[in-house]
Structure 1
């Protein structure tokens, strides 16, 4: 069953520390550290900021729903998710994976 843009945004914003911000012609979904996804204004798709290994995994598992973003962003791991072709459970898994990559890194104590 397809996921609506409103539902995709709600799922993304339910992740710890997530917020939304304008981003060109899309809505950026961010952790305090960086963007983990961008939602198209028309609600047709959401781009997930994966690394190349995650991009390959999701594209292989669900080739009708996931594809690399064209160009350099796709080569770095950015992945387009067609909201008409993805089910909610798969989208949640993808959002969590992208969110984890963008999460703030734990602070380490420096010793002198």
Structure 2
């Protein structure tokens, strides 16, 4: 299972990504847009997915990946239990989140390079 360091390493591998504080969490951004946050205290990540991707990833196991339980969840924000999610699924979900908010040219680079 991935660690917070694994998530950080994967997120920062995407083109033009930065790591910045976001309240009591760490955020990963492309430009000024957040595509993921990391909550080390609860060993959880939150990703910005499209509605379609959120539905697909949450089918795996609702105790591993699930919509944020409020209006943010309806906008695609999805929580991931880092102690339970398989490494490859985390990588795929991070790529989907990055591509959801990144400018089209950067999203194409990430998809092309298999990041």
Shift of 1:33: 4.5
Q: Tell me, in whole angstroms, the C-alpha distance in 2 between the residues paired with 1:43 and 1:29.
A: 17
List aligned pairs for 1:69-88, cutoff 5 A. Answer: 69-88=68-87
Q: Which has the higher helix share?
A: 2
Residue aligning to 2:25? 26
Q: How many residues align?
A: 105
Matches of 1:76 and 1:32, distance apart in 2: 20
Moved over 4 A (4+): none
Gaps of 5+ in 2: 106-115
Aligned counterparts of 1:52 and 1:41: Cα–Cα separation in 2: 25
Give the alignment's Cα RMSD to 1 decimal.
1.3
1:5 and 1:105 mapped to 2: Cα distance? 27
Shift of 1:41: 3.4
The SS at the match of 2:62 is: coil
Q: CA deviation at 1:90?
A: 0.5
TM-score by length of 2: 0.85
What residue ranges of structure 1 are gaps of 5+ in the alignment? 107-112
**3-state secondary structure, aligned to 2:53:** helix
TM-score, length-normalised on structure 1? Answer: 0.87
Counterpart of 2:50 in structure 1 is 51
